[in-house]
Chains A and B, each alone.
Chain A
């Protein structure tokens, strides 16, 4: 049972849709019952007609004939409805699960997020969710429907021939256990670790792609291939093992169902000879037993893979339950340019000390540049200001308030921050721009595009502002994406502005003109500008250089204005 606990939160998500799940299950059951009714009633009917023909007795052929036609239609209809309805349910669950996972991720702080992004986890995320969304269709409803089918038919059989009913229960219930719990247990270890092994093969593959230059030069490719092949063999061995077990489970099921049918038939034959049941009933019970097996169909396959489902749930749990969101009081100050100060700040990234006792102050309306090589901690300064995470020691103050006490959303609402990477979304140009200012009019968007010298380009687009920009803004060049991101920050019109390498990826002409535009636009705002050197930034009041050292990064000031 402990093995199931990672699934509990996800079962909880499903519980909210229990009405649908129940109805879906009922439809599944109706399909099974129709198949059962069709086959057993047909068997009864044929035998009864044969007996009637021999004895010359009267047989009402219309009621059973009607019954057969009814089951034929009801099987088709219920199967159609069941598939449609349950697919709808699965898609609804998918929406629920995605929202839930997203909700868990959206509260993470920047450092945890960057860890998540760096790992391969993101690539597996949707696959993990997909595994869970069809949990109901593979692992929950089918075994229950099969169980109800078995017990229901056994009770039905008991009414005619108690020994047949008992035989069905005695053989099919253990069989049901074997193809569900038995298969789950049997495939548990291999399927649980298969996920991991597939991951290892992926890592080896990435090693080989990224290290191809080194491996080729050294003539070490064959050595690495050996590592790679070993991982592949282990993975394939596990898959073979699982496949064989599934096949064995299916064979066992055939054996079990057919033997039960035979046993029921033999019990029927004996009872028939003793006159306890009629010939038609005997045939009906045997054929009904056969039809019950339809419900067991896909169980071995689904349950042999149970471990993998549980592993997916475990992995999602690891990420979504990481840590509580940063909290704080909402800011109540107005929209005037604020002062910003870093006071004796310590920041560690793992073992590495990024800042030790760093102090930096920006007076209200002051424009400060921080220059330094990449990796010196410029972006960390920016992230501290927006409270992407809290420093390990010391404090950052906004208008004199320690930002560790301010609600992150209300703080960020007062800051326009252009991150180092231009993060654009797969959406329209307008939607990407309006992220900065949801209420902005189209005129305002055009104004912003004009500021970053994209207006002429945007006007040539057939769909204008409604043009979809590709996944991560892929249909834009690096320089265009940069300027869209910049326009988005300008639309935000915030009293504090942080620009991280604002002009990177732009040709020198555009960069020079944008410097002047930014100089005007920044005006009286408080601004923190980050760049690899002074020339890459608009004019500032003060310049500081970040110099990395063994004892964390130092600030060296005032680099003279170029």
Chain B
């Protein structure tokens, strides 16, 4: 933050870069913290003055009313500044989190559906949600406190020095150099946090591993033994992490010790000085006011450092999270392809032209090509071939999810392409919200019509809440076939002239399959361009053209030639 530190580690550099947009709030937090520190100083000074006047000079309450009023004012300022510091710090944390999440989401979009397929979606989501949460304390508490832990003790030291330089030296002896102190806390707290972080992560890993495998444990009759094992492993980690903790806590104990001893030394020095037992240095100038003031400031001198050491775990968890996030933000940065090619104006809507296209997986053999393909508007095309032959890859090329290594893909993708996935997307929300994803302004009648065309008319009629039926994890679960037909309804609803379907009838029972095929037939008759990857003879039967993919090459083929190869269900 200060610019003086040069973070060597990329996670920390990244963490520090995120503060660029929250500087105002960050400064607000530091400013409020300083204000609270100064208010504390004033409060303690006024307190010492009041006591001194009353005890030494036998002043009446009325005579010290000014001091009492100052104390009240200082207390109020202190409380308000404290509130301000926390609120500003919190705003830093909130804003950084929002900004990081937006960037991650944009990053996922850049990576695209094909590259994301190799990653675990729940893992990514946990990075985007939980890991980003872990950044909070670093920005809201740790960073402002870093500055305060250096600045506030310094202010107090100056005041103490002015009151009595020897007392200031007592404080300095206790805290030889603040940076050294901070490094000490840092090392201790960091080791502590790293150890704990690691232990907890490994422990959670073991636990989740066993929970995931419970069915297997049951099969082997190991249930009881595993319960004991889960406990044993946790205890084993406890014993091991305690070894580290014993040392790690020592460093904060050293801080505590210095803090306590310096209060004690200062108190005894002042006491002896007041009694006149000390006849060197500035001890003779000590009076009750300066003595009490110094004593009151002594614990406050160490308080910011103690607070910082409490916040050290915020730093550790932010660093831990940042590591994963930086990795995701940088992942395959060099392989991100440029956006779609500019559409050829000579291209009609719904037309596809592929010229000498080749596609290979990163570092692996060629999957497709070189191949050329022209699909005219309104044509219905089926792609057949064994799994792994590249049917899906061809669809992804046409959709623009991957760019070809060679050749040209010419498709007009505006306004949209309709896409039917093997696993249709069902979002948490109502049926209507699920459909309106693809057509924002569609009215209820249009939604109902699309559902009927997709073969969900009966389902809709039977649903009491109709279009407002909630779907998704918390709503009504749709069966696989119903989900597939919902995706089909989206196609009917979408104005997209080009429709790409990836195995629209995979994993459906015969009854559902029949309904989906009927829906597809209606779609084929609607004049849109359809390209379908399929195994199903009935789907092939509705195609104008069937291509077989063999060794990455397209082979135009007749339906009769392909159909017998597909195993018929009895």
Contact B238 A46 (CB under 8 A): no
Query: Which of the candidate stretches B271-279, B319-327, B342-350, B372-380 sits at the interface with the other chain?
Result: B271-279
Encode A537-562 as 1/0 by CB contact (under 8 A) with B: 00000000101111000001000000
Q: How far does the Cβ of A18 sit from chain B's closest Cβ, in whole Å? A: 19
Query: Which of the candidate stretches B361-369, B425-433, B558-566 sits at the interface with the other chain?
Result: B425-433
Within 8 A of B (CB), among A193-214: 198, 200-214
Q: At the interface, yes or no: A20 with Cβ under 8 Å from chain B?
A: no
B477: chain A residues at CB < 8 Å are 350
Q: Bound state CA distance, A358 and B570, in angstroms?
A: 18
Query: A88-B238, A106-B226, A243-B87 known; A79 and B256 CB under 8 Å?
Result: yes
Query: Which of the candidate stretches A122-130, A391-399, A502-510 sits at the interface with the other chain?
Result: A122-130
Most chain A CB inside 10 Å of its own CB: which residue of B51, B56, B256: B51
Contact A247 B75 (CB under 8 A): no
Picked from A38, A255, A423, A545, the residue with its CB within 8 Å of the CB of B76 is: A255
Encode B215-243 as 1/0 by CB contact (under 8 A) with A: 11111111110111011001101100110
| Number of B interface residues in the complex (CB < 8 A) | 147
Picked from B94, B270, B419, the residue with its CB within 8 Å of the CB of A217 is: B419
Contact A251 B79 (CB under 8 A): yes
Q: Bound state CA distance, A493 and B382, in angstroms?
A: 49
Q: How far does the Cβ of B423 sit from chain A's closest Cβ, in whole Å? A: 7
A200: chain B residues at CB < 8 Å are 428
Q: Bound state CA distance, A415 and B223, in angstroms?
A: 16
A244: chain B residues at CB < 8 Å are 87, 90
Q: How far does the Cβ of A375 sit from chain B's closest Cβ, in whole Å? A: 6
Contact B511 A75 (CB under 8 A): no
Contact B399 A412 (CB under 8 A): no
Q: Bound state CA distance, A33 and B367, in angstroms?
A: 74
Contact B500 A217 (CB under 8 A): yes
A206: chain B residues at CB < 8 Å are 121-122, 125
Q: At the interface, yes or no: A360 with Cβ under 8 Å from chain B?
A: no
Q: How far does the Cβ of A79 sit from chain B's closest Cβ, in whole Å? A: 5
Within 8 A of A (CB), among B71-109: 71-72, 75-76, 78-80, 82-83, 86-87, 90-91, 93-94, 97-98, 101, 105, 108-109
Q: At the interface, yes or no: B253 with Cβ under 8 Å from chain A?
A: yes
A202: chain B residues at CB < 8 Å are 125-126, 128-130
Picked from A91, A99, A126, A236, the residue with its CB within 8 Å of the CB of B237 is: A91
Contact B257 A76 (CB under 8 A): yes
Within 8 A of B (CB), among A47-106: 47-54, 59, 61, 64-65, 68-69, 71-73, 75-76, 79-80, 83-84, 87-88, 91-92, 94-96, 98-99, 102-103, 105-106
A332: chain B residues at CB < 8 Å are none
B71 to chain A: closest residue by CB:
A262
B109: chain A residues at CB < 8 Å are 212, 216, 221
Q: Bound state CA distance, A98 and B253, in angstroms?
A: 31
Q: How far does the Cβ of B134 sit from chain A's closest Cβ, in whole Å? A: 11
Contact B129 A50 (CB under 8 A): no
Q: At the interface, yes or no: A113 with Cβ under 8 Å from chain B?
A: yes
A72: chain B residues at CB < 8 Å are 257, 260-261, 263-264
How many residues of A sit at the interface, in one of the four size bands? 35 or more
Q: Bound state CA distance, A48 and B288, in angstroms?
A: 9
Q: At the interface, yes or no: A270 with Cβ under 8 Å from chain B?
A: yes
Query: Which of the candidate stretches A136-144, A164-172, A222-230, A305-313 sits at the interface with the other chain?
Result: A222-230
Query: Which of the candidate stretches B177-185, B410-418, B539-547, B548-556 sits at the interface with the other chain?
Result: B410-418
Q: How far does the Cβ of B73 sit from chain A's closest Cβ, in whole Å? A: 11
B418: chain A residues at CB < 8 Å are 217-218
Contact B47 A51 (CB under 8 A): no
Query: A243-B90, A248-B83 known; A215 and B425 CB under 8 Å?
Result: yes
Contact B98 A232 (CB under 8 A): yes
Q: Bound state CA distance, A103 and B415, in angstroms?
A: 55
Q: Bound state CA distance, A415 and B221, in angstroms?
A: 11
Q: At the interface, yes or no: A269 with Cβ under 8 Å from chain B?
A: yes
Q: How far does the Cβ of B58 sit from chain A's closest Cβ, in whole Å? A: 8
Within 8 A of B (CB), among A239-287: 239-240, 243-244, 246-248, 250-252, 254-255, 258-259, 262, 265-266, 269-270, 272-273, 279, 282-283, 286-287
Contact A68 B268 (CB under 8 A): yes
Q: Bound state CA distance, A360 and B417, in angstroms?
A: 49
Picked from B50, B234, B416, B507, the residue with its CB within 8 Å of the CB of A98 is: B234
Q: Bound state CA distance, A239 and B90, in angstroms?
A: 9
Q: Bound state CA distance, A388 and B216, in angstroms?
A: 10
Q: Bound state CA distance, A216 and B413, in angstroms?
A: 11
Most chain A CB inside 10 Å of its own CB: which residue of B217, B437, B511: B437
Contact A80 B250 (CB under 8 A): yes
Q: Bound state CA distance, A210 and B130, in angstroms?
A: 18
B318: chain A residues at CB < 8 Å are none
Contact B274 A53 (CB under 8 A): yes
A119: chain B residues at CB < 8 Å are 473
Q: At the interface, yes or no: A220 with Cβ under 8 Å from chain B?
A: yes
Contact B43 A258 (CB under 8 A): yes
Contact A45 B253 (CB under 8 A): no
B219: chain A residues at CB < 8 Å are 386, 412, 415, 417, 419
Q: Bound state CA distance, A505 and B83, in angstroms?
A: 61
B104 to chain A: closest residue by CB:
A205
B291: chain A residues at CB < 8 Å are 46, 49-50
Contact B222 A262 (CB under 8 A): no
Contact B212 A472 (CB under 8 A): yes
B79: chain A residues at CB < 8 Å are 251-252, 254-255, 258
| A-B contact list, 26 entries, CB within 8 Å | A43-B292, A47-B51, A49-B272, A50-B274, A54-B56, A61-B271, A68-B267, A75-B260, A84-B242, A103-B227, A106-B214, A106-B223, A125-B211, A213-B421, A216-B109, A223-B436, A247-B87, A265-B47, A279-B55, A282-B51, A283-B51, A352-B479, A412-B219, A412-B221, A425-B213, A549-B510
| 9 closest residue pairs by CB, A with B | A211-B425, A95-B234, A247-B86, A217-B419, A42-B267, A91-B238, A213-B113, A243-B90, A279-B55
